Structure 1
Amino acid sequence: MRTQIQRALALALLMLLAAATVATAASVGTVDDTEGPATITRKGTSVTAETGTPVMENDVLATGPKGRLSVMFEDKTRLVLGESSKMTIDQYVYSGKKSGLLFDLSQGMFRTVTGKIVEANPEGFNMRTPLATVGIRGSDVFAHVESERNRVGALSLGQGHVLQLRTGEASQDIGEGGLYSRIGPDGSIGAPKPIPPLLMQMIPSLSKGKRHLKPELPNTPKVVVPKGNSNPRQPVHRPVYQ
């Protein structure tokens, strides 16, 4: 009888260990698009990132020249890496008010659109670069990480949302889409400025099969010139970011 009880306890322990292993190895998102060289490194082993490949906490995501990697997380957060970029999923928890994530950005260009984690825990969505910590409160934002500077900005912000930049020396909030700040190696943070066209064209696109973001104008309507008016007012178009 004692032997049977010991066997039952051992079996129960093995089942608990197996369940814990599965829980630890549970995916937190899935690759939904790639282009060019892109890899996922897990516990020292690298694999080619392909559509449908699961991603997990502590995975290192990387792209090569002309590469692009897009991941959709469980909470519908979208993360896109541009070419020659590298980052680590330091933390990802999607569980009500305990939800939170931390992306550690090492180098390159990144874009993220927040999902339900921000709704569950507005303080729980953060990115870290070699020079700063970025708190994201519901937005479509980007970060360009270089050795001597970081540039972080917002393509769009929801009502009442803000992009918070923090270093050991300074802090800066961006409260409007279309602006970015430059972060220096000394911890300084510049005042928000409009995103210049050259930087805009480096930002990864959300569209499949398209590496970089380019402001696209809607179809230009035909301009009717009233008789006697040689200087008609031209229509104003706003960029659509894809």
Structure 2
Amino acid sequence: MLKPKGFIYLTIIFSLFTGAATASEIGKVVLTLGSPLVERSGQHLFIKRNSPLYTSDTLITPVGSKVLFRLKDKTTISLAENSEFELSRYEFDEETSDVSFKMLKGAFRTLTGSIGKQQNPKFEIHTPVATIGVRGTEFWGGLIFSDALDVTMLEGKGVYIKNEHGQVEILKPGDGTKVFPGKQPNPVSKWTKEMLNKAAEATRVKEPTKNHWEY
């Protein structure tokens, strides 16, 4: 027996709006600037403070927009304007972790939470030119200053940057590297204060009040 058209229409609408609810929530939006979006199940939705985030979401920050979000283990990530960042995989418990995200373009700043305190955390961010892996740290990565990937460690245990051409590891706060497409990561060197400030400003998200706090 054929079902009424109204029933079919309601079923489609219900599936669109409840699809994310069947997935496990992995974090929430903390702060936004401008009009950031999330791409979910083929739809582009505006996000705001306390918006839930799910595996497979892609966060998008158009020009003039930024976003700061927090994951279940208290890891915080902020995105610069004109960024696209996919939450590909997030598996976490008190002893183990398996996290894999993708920065498709733009820049991000990350401060690891409980994952960074684990003995052997697996936390990687893939970019078009290299993969960044962390061992409990605060770090920054971006494709916004040139056609190369810039990475610096701000605090913590260490950051490794690898691709099919080679690998380097950053062990001192304030050190960084540059990775050009199709080449091995450059040797680690100390970033200038100007460069560090420029990177920090790109991913800083401010509360829109007089007594704001920053990340």
TM-score (norm 2): 0.80
Cα distance in structure 2, aligned partners of 1:115 and 1:109: 20
Distance 1:48 1:121, change over 3 A: farther
The match for 2:4 is none
The match for 1:6 is none
Shift of 1:24: 4.8
Distance 1:24 1:169, change over 3 A: farther
* Contact preservation (8 Å) 2:78, 2:108: yes
The match for 1:200 is 197
TM-score (norm 1): 0.72
Question: Max radius of gyration: which structure?
Answer: 1
* Contact preservation (8 Å) 2:126, 2:132: yes
Cα distance in structure 2, aligned partners of 1:22 and 1:66: 27
Cα distance in structure 1, aligned partners of 2:60 and 2:152: 21
Cα distance in structure 1, aligned partners of 2:62 and 2:119: 34
Runs of 4+ in 1 over 3 A off after TM superposition: 21-24, 206-210
* Contact preservation (8 Å) 1:163, 1:173: yes
Matching of residue 151 in structure 1 with residue 150 in structure 2: yes
The match for 2:185 is 189
Compare the two structures and name the one with the higher strand fraction. Answer: 2
Gaps of 5+ in 1: 1-20, 211-240
Cα distance in structure 2, aligned partners of 1:209 and 1:179: 32
Shift of 1:46: 1.1
Gaps of 5+ in 2: 1-18
Cα distance in structure 1, aligned partners of 2:45 and 2:20: 20
Question: Which piece of structure 1 moves more, 118-127 or 178-187?
Answer: 118-127
Identity of aligned residues (%): 23
Give the paired residue count.
189
Distance 1:80 1:22, change over 3 A: closer
The higher-RCO structure (CA 8 Å, 6+ apart) is: 2
Query: What are the superposed Cα offsets for residues 97-119 of structure 1, whole Å, 9 maximum, x if unpaired?
Result: 34221110010010000011232
Shift of 1:23: 8.1
Shift of 1:71: 0.5
Quote the RMSD (CA, aligned, Å): 2.2
